[in-house]
């Protein structure tokens, strides 16, 4: 099985790739910031590798299926209070990373809940687009 990023044919970008690119280290970053970014990217990468190794199946708490949706998620903690949720689906020999969103532990506010709901709906939209166009055009980009 191989991991790929979902490529949106309308907006011409990969949501997960775009999200992860913000953690690329810049020359302006301090040593602390660079270390934090490196740790986070390595942690995400290790989890993705582990999920690929297990053919995208739900294993322990590393990857989980969502109750109301047909996709899975990988959770990684960014800060004390912020969690990164990366959503993916399994498609034949591919694990397609659809979307990534951040969730605050303090999401008691109505706005936070609404944002999370909107993020999940967007992911479902990506999934539908992928399923609709996967046979006619390339809706993914290689994960490196």
Residue closer to another protein (CB basis): 47 or 90: 47
Q: Where does residue 25 fall: left (phi above 0), alpha (psi -120 to 50 degrees), or beta otherwise? A: beta
Q: How far is the CB of 72 from another protein (least distance, A)?
A: 14
82 or 118: whose CB is closer to another protein? 82
Q: Are 39 and 131 in contact (CB under 8 A)?
A: no
* Residue 66 Cβ vs another protein, minimum distance, rounded to whole Å: 16
Task: Give the interface with another protein as residue ranges (CB under 8 A).
Answer: 38-39, 42-43, 45-47, 49-50, 59-62, 75-77
Dihedral sign for Cα atoms in the order 131, 132, 138, 139: negative
Residue number, 85 or 94, with CB nearest to another protein? 85
- Please provide the distance, in angstroms rounded to a whole number, between the alpha carbons at the two ends of the chain: 14
- Shortest distance, position 76 Cβ to another protein, whole Å: 7
Q: Which strand (E) or helix (H) includes residue 1? A: none
What is the smallest separation between the CB atom of 21 and another protein, expressed in angstroms? 16
Q: What's the token pair of residue 2?
A: 């191989």
Shortest spacing between CB 93 and another protein, in angstroms:
23
Judged by CB, which is closer to another protein: 130, or 143? Answer: 143
Provide Rg for the chain, Cα atoms.
15
Query: Tokens 């708490």 belong to which residue?
Result: 61
Backbone phi, psi, residue 114, to 5°: -65, -40
- Residue with smaller CB distance to another protein, 24 or 113: 24
């Amino acid at each position: 099985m191989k991991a790929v990023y979902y490529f949106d044919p309308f907006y011409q970008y990969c949501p997960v790739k775009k999200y992860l690119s913000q953690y690329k280290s810049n020359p302006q970053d301090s040593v602390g910031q660079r270390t934090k970014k490196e740790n986070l990217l390595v942690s995400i990468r290790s989890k993705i590798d582990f999920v690929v190794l297990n053919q995208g199946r739900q294993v322990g708490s590393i990857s989980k299926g969502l109750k109301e949706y047909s996709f899975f998620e990988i959770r990684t903690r960014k800060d004390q209070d912020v969690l990164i949720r990366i959503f993916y689906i399994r498609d034949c020999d591919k694990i397609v990373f659809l979307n990534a969103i951040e969730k605050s532990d303090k999401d008691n506010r109505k706005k936070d809940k609404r944002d999370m709901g909107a993020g999940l709906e967007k992911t479902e939209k990506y999934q539908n687009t992928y399923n609709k166009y996967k046979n006619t055009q390339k809706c993914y980009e290689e994960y490196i």
